[in-house]
Chains A and B, each alone.
Chain A
């Protein structure tokens, strides 16, 4: 806040010193933006501010968290029993599938060894909670409650139970900021699971539609095809579901087909997300805040 007293009145009455200050602050703002845009020059300043802002984020999140807690505390017994039953069934189902997964994984490793390709090491995951904080409404960003202290790094992939959600944009001491795959500035290398056809998925700004603009009209894509991450580019782990093809438009005379994909993950409803440490990232010693990690977020 500006200093009260005689000096303050001078700023108001006499225009010159005030205009000078205005121009000075504008230049400082522009300089800050320039440095920030060039990435990572201002990490410490930003981190300091983020700690100041953290109580505000918590204050915003608290009532919503409390509401959820109350909802759970006062839930009907019958409802809980039904949910428990459903979860047991789900667990049984998942368990049966896992039994085969172990042997399949072993087989896969054997085959890969025979082909001389690198083995796929299991990824490490950590559960993070999304803070109910609205960031810029024009971009698909959100904040999670894990930061530097948990070893989060820029470019790290985020999943939910159904598929890929997004990646980490910025890491702060207590929180991190992530971008959804549906952000209009986000691109993600993928492959069609059925035939291994590789392409890139781009966000549309709409959480239920992603775009695949770079497939030729003749490409072998069908409605309902599962799209998985291809792992090219090294940011996202390969083999996780991204979505299902929901719309194909092949216009004669156009070189490329208009293909849209519905995300498998619940982009706008997720509350908990999984942070993934890919084997590759662990090997390269967590290339911390290397901006090249963000190559995939154009």
Chain B
């Protein structure tokens, strides 16, 4: 069991913090630039320990996010499951990328995430301004290296294991 020594506490704490950070009110000008905390943290853990943080984790987190944000039940769940599936599918390749390449990949994954959300909104007939959909991507791209740096110890352990 590769990732058995990662204690369950840190992932749970980071995932709950991601939910809290998603709900913390920001001043109006900064609000559109809120990073997509939940997919970022989920991508991190599923890259690191895909055998422990898989599709089901993403699904439950998505449902919680849906309830928290008042979206359609299943909207964020679907988007997160797609992102995590792609991450796990290619985790062996992605994991060895240098940091900048990893960031680009994460932004691409988030583009897919935003697209799924946007698509569901469109199908459900909800009015959503398209322009504001892309601003969280900028913030997420900036925050991703910080997440990596903060949780770096675990990343190195993962790479050593391979």
Contact = CB atoms under 8 A, between A and B. Distances in A.
Contact of B67 (A5, A26, A29, A46): A46
A288 interface: no
Given A1-B57, A21-B55, A32-B74, A133 B128 contact: no
A268 B28 CA distance: 10
B59 interface: yes
Interface in B90-110: 91
A37 B72 contact: yes
B26 A22 contact: no
A49 B72 CA distance: 13
Contact of B23 (A35, A50, A57): A57
A50 B52 CA distance: 26
Contact of A137 (B16, B32, B52, B82): B32
B85 A22 contact: yes
Contact of A37 (B34, B55, B124): B124
Interface centre among A32, A35, A52, A184 (most CB of B within 10 A): A32
A32 B56 contact: no
A134 B25 contact: yes
Contact of A42 (B59, B73, B77): B73
B88 interface: yes
A64 B25 contact: yes
Contacts of B22: 134
A152 interface: no
Contacts of B16: 56
A60 B68 CA distance: 12
A56 B63 contact: no
Contacts of B35: none
Contacts of B59: 25, 28-29
Nearest to A32: B74
Contacts of A2: 51-57
Contacts of A52: 64, 67
Interface in B41-87: 50-57, 59, 62-64, 66-75, 77-78, 81-82, 85
Contacts of A33: 72-75, 78, 120, 124
A213 B94 CA distance: 51
B-side interface size class: 35 or more
A225 interface: no
A9 interface: yes
B64 A15 contact: no
B1 interface: yes
A141 interface: yes
A163 B64 CA distance: 33
Contacts of B128: 138-139
A30 interface: yes
A169 B71 CA distance: 12
Contact of B24 (A1, A5, A60, A138): A60
Interface string B7-51: 000000000100110111110100110100000000000000011
Given A36-B72, A139-B126, A185-B126, A132 B55 contact: no
B55 A25 contact: yes
Contact of A29 (B28, B64, B81, B132): B81
Q: Which 4 pairs, one residue from A and one from B, show the smallest C-beta to C-beta distance?
A: A32-B74, A8-B51, A2-B54, A29-B78
20 contacts: A1-B53, A1-B56, A2-B53, A2-B55, A2-B56, A2-B57, A5-B1, A11-B50, A18-B89, A35-B73, A45-B73, A52-B64, A53-B64, A53-B67, A56-B68, A60-B20, A133-B68, A137-B31, A169-B70, A205-B129
Interface of B: 1, 4, 16, 19-20, 22-26, 28, 31-32, 34, 50-57, 59, 62-64, 66-75, 77-78, 81-82, 85, 88-89, 91, 120, 124, 126-129, 132-133
